[in-house]
């Protein structure tokens, strides 16, 4: 049985990816609440699609956070993979910041 990865053992790229996944969870939580309220009001398929989109990405980011902290060997073997994961999380965060901004406006 493997032990959970301690924060001190994590590379800076995985720490960044973890922080970005946490930010994504917060943004997606806010978006999902807004879309759920809008769906209750308007009952349109588009808003239902947005609600499903938010829920799926929320679960994906939660699972990513779990793996960042519990699956040591998943990302620690290759530093290039760690950097790519961090870049992908950063791109997702940027997209969610834009989406959150226009949704809340």
Average pLDDT over residues 92-105: 97
Distances (CA, A) of 102 to 3, 5, 17, 60, 94: 42, 37, 24, 22, 13
Whether residue 100 is predicted with pLDDT greater than 70 in this model: the reply is: yes
Of 70, 75, 72, 105, the C-alpha closest to 88 is: 75
Record the tokens describing residue 14, joined without a space. Answer: 């995985």
Estimate the share of the chain in helix, then strand, then coil, as percent rounded to the nearest 5: 85, 0, 15
Place of tokens 């930010």: 23
Average pLDDT over residues 78-82: 86
């Amino acid at each position: 049985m493997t032990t959970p990865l301690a924060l001190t053992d994590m590379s800076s790229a995985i720490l960044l990816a973890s922080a970005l996944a946490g930010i994504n969870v917060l943004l997606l939580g806010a978006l999902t609440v807004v879309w759920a309220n809008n769906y209750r009001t308007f009952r349109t398929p588009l808003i239902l699609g947005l609600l499903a989109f938010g829920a799926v990405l929320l679960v994906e980011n939660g699972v990513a956070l779990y793996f960042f902290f519990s699956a040591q060997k998943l990302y620690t073997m290759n530093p290039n993979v760690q950097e790519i994961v961090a870049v992908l999380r950063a791109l997702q965060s940027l997209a969610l910041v834009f989406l959150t901004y226009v949704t809340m406006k």
